[in-house]
Amino acid sequence: MKLLLRAFVALLQRDLLLAFRHRGELVNPLLFFMIVVTLFPLGVNPEEALLRKIAPGVIWIAALLAGLFSLESMFRSDFDDGALEQIVLSPHPLPVLVLAKVLAHWLVSGLPMLLMAPLLALFLSMPAKAVWTLELTLLAGTPLLSLIGAIGVALTVGLRRGGVLLTLLVLPLYIPVLIFATNAVTAAGAGMPVAGQIYFLAALLALALTLAPLATAAALRISLG
């Protein structure tokens, strides 16, 4: 168990170190998220009432696309330099190592969006009571996007131009997360209960934490086999 924990921590630290060495790739998804949200009022009527109504959808769509934009980097560099084969051949359980890589991806892509979201929500005139719900949905939803995306990345990592196929694979699976998250934020802004939507997202996250690493590990073996 100690060896497994050490392997998990070592792989997590390695991926975080590599991400911070390539700061351009680290900042790109966050900039994309910020630019999409801040430019949206310029493309529609910047009236406060309208922005308040569309803010949940705008922020969540921007977060979804920014997360999708950063997905391919999860396994690509390891595949190119041969490290992915070493990870697959490691004596440690592959799903646990996959979970370390997914956590590293969320820490460098999902967590910054989670921290920036309240500022962008206020920019779009979102009510304060809805901002807390937005943070809860992002806290449950962005790791879920990373876990689902990892399966698609593992299936397409061996393809030279797998970006389009990756989008086609994972985008339909992202739709329920988008629907329930935006519905929760909208309901919170209207003063309605949101426990059902939050519980649903939490249940999806628990299911993904259980099954996605297993599916990703199997997909990696298929791609490298």
Give all strands (DSSP E) within the chain, no chain letters. Answer: none
* 59-87 average pLDDT score: 87
pLDDT in tens, 113-155: 999 999 999 888 888 889 999 999 999 999 999 999 999 999 8
pLDDT in tens, 109-118: 899 999 999 9
Contacting residues for 180 by C-beta, under 8 A, at least 6 apart: 137, 197, 200, 201
Mean pLDDT of 60-79: 87
Asked whether the predicted pLDDT for residue 20 surpasses 90, the reply is no
Of 208, 181, 171, 17, nearest to 108 by C-alpha is 17
- Three-class SS of residue 145? helix
The pLDDT tens digits of the residues spanning 201-214 come to 999 999 999 999 99
Task: Please give the Cα distance from 221 to 215 (Å, whole number).
Answer: 10
Predicted pLDDT of residue 80: 80
Q: What are phi and psi of 125, to 5 degrees?
A: 65, 30
Whose tokens are 């070592």? That residue is: 10
Domain chopping of the chain, boundaries:
2-224
Backbone phi, psi, residue 27, to 5°: -85, -25
Q: For the whole model, what pTM was predicted?
A: 0.91
